[in-house]
Chain A
Amino acid sequence: MTLLDFARGPALYWSTLIMVCGLVWRLAGVALLPFRPDRSAAGPQSRGRVRGALGTIVSRSLPRRTFLARTFATVVVGYAMHLGLLIILLGGAPHILLVAQATGLSWPSLPKGVVALASAVTLVTLVFVLVRRCTHPVLRLLSNFDDFLSIVLTLVPVATGILLAEETVLPYRTLLTWHILSVEAMMIWLPFGKLSHVVFVFAGRAVSGAKLGKRGATT
């Protein structure tokens, strides 16, 4: 078995398993805590818990005007990085092919230039985020090992992906191997560290959105 075979075979299987089980474990660990029913009467402008939760999941993706002057850089970088990742994942032809092989589902890919641009933007923003974590006083205080590891584990797949797509002089199979392995490393770390925000930001929004939505407060 070559390293590529390993990456495509058992490594993919195990990393997926670890990611899914880890996330389920972590979600269950919080969801199974005793839930205390809220007996307070709803506010006169209540939107109800469910609408509050769903509404906040969407609305918290949009910055509030009052904060924007002070959070502009974070918001722009956040959008650029996440949109970039989304374009690469859903628009890149090799990724679509992978999904098609696994599930039979397929959709048209984006032009190679668009994906290349998105990759470049993502890479640059990831580097910027890394630097900012080391320089901004608040981020320096907050950041821990997990933050840096999570950024690096996102950065490496993007970087190897770019090298792959640009057909450099580097040997294709080696690059592909490392690209897949780096994605798998990210998947393995995902449930344990802050990459789990792919699930928990929405959970957090739902929870506070439900509470404040019932009150009829801004969420």
Chain B
Amino acid sequence: MSGMPPSLAPAAKPGAKPATRRVAESRDQADRARLDAAMRGFISDFGPEAAVYMEACLHCGQCAEACQFYVETGDPKYTPIWKIEPFKQAYSREMGPFAPFFRAFGLTPKVTLGELEGWQELLYDSCNMCGRCSLVCPAGIDIADLVEKARHGMFEAGLVPGDYLGALAGKEQETGNPFGISREDVRRALLEIGRSHGVEMHVDEPRAAVVPTVSSIDLKMYPASIAATARVLNHVGASWSFRTDGFDADNVSLTAGDRTGQRLVTEAIVDAATRCGAEVLIMPECGHSYTEMRWEAANTVGHALPFRVLHMSEYLAECLDAGRLKLRPVTPDPEGRGVTFHDPCQLSRRSGRSDAPRKVMAALGLDLHELADHGADSWCCGGGGGVALINRARPLRDKAFAIKRRQVADTGAGTVIVSCTGCRQTFEHGFKDAGGETGVGSLLDLVAGQLEEDGKTP
């Protein structure tokens, strides 16, 4: 069940780390110890909420119908709540209010390490933690949240897929970012991006009201988006600065299930922003890292954050409202096909801010053709939750992406606008793998190209 045959596995991406598999296979804990570790990881932050979820499932199967992996493959094993089945069983058997009763009557079988190994594909390759299933569940079970907890367990048992998710998370825990780039190199890279794009760059200023974080993926693959960030912040006249002592917006550890790494990344950002007196922390166009900073960081560090956390599109929308961001409308494309917009799950569904990117698109005068399912109902692109970082998952991801591809085609739009780097990559790969011709554009990049500078065009 786990792993694609080598013949199906896509070629390694240039520049990516070699397939070390060190997280998944180098530990030789006894099975029992690993199982225990898995369960401890799963329940480590178990409160009444998660426990209620464990008790509430009706086995009605509706969550399957909300999940792109089931809908596109028809394979029942991709039923969302099934993805946490071993953990659910172990919970009722070992920890639930009726645990002795379940044990005595043998109502739930004992979970084995082999089972957990088999579940790796279900918990990692085929879950974006997108929360679409959480929205359909009549019992209100936040399955995405349970998957995150189950991944904590899988990490503790050494069962994270190595290529590349586990490897990247390992690097992140070790060095503070998934590619192991040193602070000095980050600084150099940022300044170089400023130079080559002709934009004034602020790095490691001692005081800054606005601190944008950086996705290492942007740093490697979309430097123009980093230049766009600088351009926009200069335009709105913010006192701002990147901080190399806390910049890694990716938080790959979060999707891998590594709580230690997750905490390290989060604390570094909070500390850096606090140190320079930030009022606003901007998360770049990146989904899960936004959720982490916006909704979890305060709990991780144990106090309310001294600054506000905004997704890039929320920040843009605020600047528009305040009249600080002035945009020229885009020139309509000659074919008049317009654009469509892909809602990043974490911003639109999980955080209720589908309005922010739309406000920005309206200001750009874009001819927006909405997808059949948009806003909170939008389907995940299939790459979220670290799935885009699992090498062997690409064929499955492409399958899940098919639903998005169809909905995009139905709008007739020539370009899909995205506001998340992860989505952007998934769309680019998905369209490429399917041989499509639809363009993919970043909302931020678009904005940066339409800034109305006094007397000059950027």
* Interface residue ranges, A against B (CB under 8 Å): 25-26, 28-41, 43-45, 56, 60-61, 64, 66-67, 70-71, 74, 78, 136-147, 192, 194, 196-197, 200-201, 203-209, 211-212, 215-219
| Cβ of A48 to closest chain B Cβ, rounded Å | 13
The answer to whether B134 and A218 have CB atoms under 8 Å apart is: no
Q: How far is the CA of A3 from the CA of B417 in the complex (A)?
A: 72
Q: How far is the CA of A36 from the CA of B302 in the complex (A)?
A: 10
Which residues of chain B come closer than 8 Å to A70, judged between CB atoms? 65-66, 71
Q: How far is the CA of A46 from the CA of B181 in the complex (A)?
A: 38
Nearest 8 pairs between A and B by C-beta?
A29-B97, A217-B352, A205-B140, A218-B376, A204-B56, A30-B51, A70-B65, A39-B298
The answer to whether B82 and A40 have CB atoms under 8 Å apart is: no
Determine, out of B42-50, B182-190, B218-226, B442-450, the stretch whose residues face the partner at the interface.
B42-50
| Cβ of B147 to closest chain A Cβ, rounded Å | 14
The answer to whether B142 and A218 have CB atoms under 8 Å apart is: no
| Cβ of B372 to closest chain A Cβ, rounded Å | 8
Determine, out of B148-156, B205-213, B303-311, the stretch whose residues face the partner at the interface.
B303-311
Q: Does B77 contact A (CB under 8 A)?
A: yes
Q: Which of B74, B107, B138 contacts A146 (CB 8 A)?
A: B107
Which residues of chain A come closer than 8 Å to B82, judged between CB atoms? 141-142
Which residues of chain A come closer than 8 Å to B141, judged between CB atoms? 204, 208
Which residues of chain B come closer than 8 Å to A35, judged between CB atoms? 47-48
Q: How far is the CA of A177 from the CA of B54 in the complex (A)?
A: 36
Given A56-B140, A142-B79, A197-B139, the answer on whether A204 and B52 have CB atoms closer than 8 Å is: yes
Q: How far is the CA of A29 from the CA of B107 in the complex (A)?
A: 19
Q: Which residue of B lies closest to A133 (CB)?
A: B59
The answer to whether A64 and B298 have CB atoms under 8 Å apart is: no
Q: How far is the CA of A28 from the CA of B55 in the complex (A)?
A: 12
| Cβ of A219 to closest chain B Cβ, rounded Å | 8
Which residues of chain A come closer than 8 Å to B296, judged between CB atoms? 40
B59-85 with Cβ < 8 A to chain A: 59-62, 64-66, 70-71, 74, 76-77, 79, 81-82
Q: Which residue of B lies closest to A25 (CB)?
A: B97
The answer to whether A218 and B349 have CB atoms under 8 Å apart is: yes
Q: How far is the CA of A66 from the CA of B355 in the complex (A)?
A: 19
The answer to whether B52 and A200 have CB atoms under 8 Å apart is: yes
The answer to whether A30 and B55 have CB atoms under 8 Å apart is: yes
Which residues of chain A come closer than 8 Å to B303, judged between CB atoms? 39
14 A-B interface contacts by CB (under 8 A): A25-B97, A26-B55, A30-B97, A35-B48, A40-B298, A41-B308, A78-B60, A78-B138, A138-B76, A142-B59, A196-B55, A201-B140, A208-B142, A215-B295
Which residues of chain A come closer than 8 Å to B140, judged between CB atoms? 56, 60, 201, 204-209, 219
Q: Which residue of B lies closest to A145 (CB)?
A: B107
The answer to whether A67 and B66 have CB atoms under 8 Å apart is: yes
Q: Which of B45, B56, B61 contacts A142 (CB 8 A)?
A: B61
The answer to whether B96 and A29 have CB atoms under 8 Å apart is: yes
Q: Which of A28, A61, A217 contacts B350 (CB 8 A)?
A: A217
Q: Which of A43, A207, A212 contacts B52 (CB 8 A)?
A: A207
B70-123 with Cβ < 8 A to chain A: 70-71, 74, 76-77, 79, 81-82, 96-98, 101, 107
| Cβ of A165 to closest chain B Cβ, rounded Å | 29
The answer to whether A211 and B65 have CB atoms under 8 Å apart is: no
Which residues of chain A come closer than 8 Å to B179, judged between CB atoms? none
As a 0/1 sequence over residues 260 to 301 of chain B, the CB contacts with chain A under 8 angstroms (1 = contact) are 000000000000000000000000000000000011111100
The answer to whether A141 and B51 have CB atoms under 8 Å apart is: no
Q: How far is the CA of A74 from the CA of B137 in the complex (A)?
A: 12
